[in-house]
Structure 1
Amino acid sequence: MSSPASGASHYAKGSAANILRSVLVVGAIVAVIFFAVARTNSVTPQQIDVPVAAEGHAVQSGEPLSYPVDLPEGWQATSVRYIRSTGDVMMWHAGYTTPDGQYVAIQQAVDGPEEWVNVQTNNGARIGTLTSEDGREWVQREREGKVQRSLVNDPEGKGELTTIITGTGTFDQLMEFANHLRQADPTPSSASPTSS
């Protein structure tokens, strides 16, 4: 018969004092790691160059896509993309935050069908019209129960760009945005925007 193992270590015994010492040591290690690891307090927004993206996508698509220029101080570009959207429509999108933290975006598609317009405006009801400084007429649309306002310019004729200015901004902010739009030149050798 084998003899029992010699007695366990004094520290291996599960006394309350030993458990408390272990918890304090582990807590001290966690605290050191917690305070030693650098953490960011804020995230610096990525710089988005909307004019360069608009020019590039205009050349790619062969369409004079619009983007805002010379917006007042405080407007910040947040997103830009050229993607396939509702109804298999290729859509240009550039989003901005306003100085008071609202969101405004331009969305454009060639001959944007009604289904696409309804999705982009969140089925907002037509509530009136506005005219921008360049003489374009915009249909005002507003979604009740959800803060989304839109201006829709859908010119007559085949092959025209349907333009939607939409977001949580006021109609004044949407119109201010529309009044700063310029068209990108879709020819490959272009270097400068033209007025829309």
Structure 2
Amino acid sequence: MSTTSVPDTAPAPAVQPPARRGLGSLRSMVISMVVIMVAGLAWFAMVPRVREITQPAVDVTSVAKQVRQETSWAISQPQLPAGWKATNVRFTAAGDGLRTWHAGYLSPEGNYVSIDQTQQATDAWISAQTSNGRAEGTLAAAGVTWQELSSRETVQRSLVSRGSGSTELSTVLSGTAPYAQLAQFAEALKPVPAS
């Protein structure tokens, strides 16, 4: 008899799936997030930040003297007490062609006040300087009767003194200051010397 023997083959072991190393665990993900947040906070803490923007000093007096010499206009400049800061000064031609002397200041309380002066001011020039201000009354300051105007479009208040004749300057004092502070600003105006 012949016997054939069937080779004894053991069943092949089951193939194990590869380890899930790339997927990680929830614990690993939390640790990674904490490390990233700590690094981000450290970076944020080291970056310098500006707490206050300081503006360079503006020399109103030298520009005022130059305008006075070039135009022979009797422009005014305020002699303000300590605490006021000049922020801008210019002499430009407005949209209607009128040359305008302008100087802006910040009060100690943080209110903005400016002076604008020109010869032969038009209604359009007054309207532009006062942001289309509407008349509210008058007040007397520095020996002048000023017209009070308030803009409905902005928080701007203005005092206006219109020059009479072709050589007298019209003056507009404008800003976010109350009328009382605008009147104090008017009292501080002094003519710029001719030389």
- TM-score range normalised by the length of the shorter chain: 0.7 to 0.9
What is the CA–CA distance in structure 2 between the aligned matches of 1:66 and 1:82, rounded to whole Å? 13
Amino acid aligned to 2:67: H
Amino acid aligned to 1:138: W
1:18 to 2:28 alignment: yes
Q: CA deviation at 1:159?
A: 3.5
| Aligned pairs, number | 178
What is the CA–CA distance in structure 2 between the aligned matches of 1:141 and 1:32, rounded to whole Å? 53
1:119 to 2:128 alignment: yes
What is the CA–CA distance in structure 1 between the aligned matches of 2:76 and 2:125, rounded to whole Å? 18
The range that moved more, 39-48 or 163-172, is: 39-48
Spell out, residue by residue over 1:44-76, the C-alpha distance to the aligned partner (whole angstroms, 9 max, x if none): 34322221232233334453332101x233322
1:148 to 2:164 alignment: no
What is the CA–CA distance in structure 2 between the aligned matches of 1:88 and 1:48, rounded to whole Å? 26
Q: Match of 1:183? A: 191
Q: Match of 2:12? A: none
Residues 131 and 153, structure 2, Cα contact 8 Å, conserved in 1 = no
Aligned pair partner of 1:53 in 22, 38, 63: 63
Q: Match of 2:13? A: none
Q: CA deviation at 1:126?
A: 2.7
Amino acid aligned to 1:16: L
2:96 aligned counterpart, secondary structure? helix
Q: Match of 2:90? A: 81
Amino acid aligned to 1:130: L
> Structure 1 residues 160 and 15 mapped into 2: Cα distance closer, same or farther (>3 Å)?
same
1:87 aligned counterpart, secondary structure? coil
- Long gaps (5+) in structure 1: 1-6, 191-196
What is the CA–CA distance in structure 2 between the aligned matches of 1:59 and 1:94, rounded to whole Å? 17
Amino acid aligned to 2:125: W
Spell out, residue by residue over 1:76-114, the C-alpha distance to the aligned partner (whole angstroms, 9 max, x if none): 222222233332332222122223332221111221211
Q: Match of 2:169? A: 161
- Give the TM-score taking structure 1 as reference length: 0.74
- Long gaps (5+) in structure 2: 1-17
Q: CA deviation at 1:8?
A: 8.6
Residues 110 and 161, structure 1, Cα contact 8 Å, conserved in 2 = yes
Spell out, residue by residue over 1:20-65, the C-alpha distance to the aligned partner (whole angstroms, 9 max, x if none): 3332332222122111222232233432222123223333445333
Residues 119 and 163, structure 2, Cα contact 8 Å, conserved in 1 = no
What is the CA–CA distance in structure 2 between the aligned matches of 1:145 and 1:37, rounded to whole Å? 40
Alignment of 1:3-42 (within 5 A): 10=21, 12-42=22-52
1:72 to 2:81 alignment: yes
> Structure 1 residues 107 and 24 mapped into 2: Cα distance closer, same or farther (>3 Å)?
same
> Structure 1 residues 31 and 147 mapped into 2: Cα distance closer, same or farther (>3 Å)?
closer
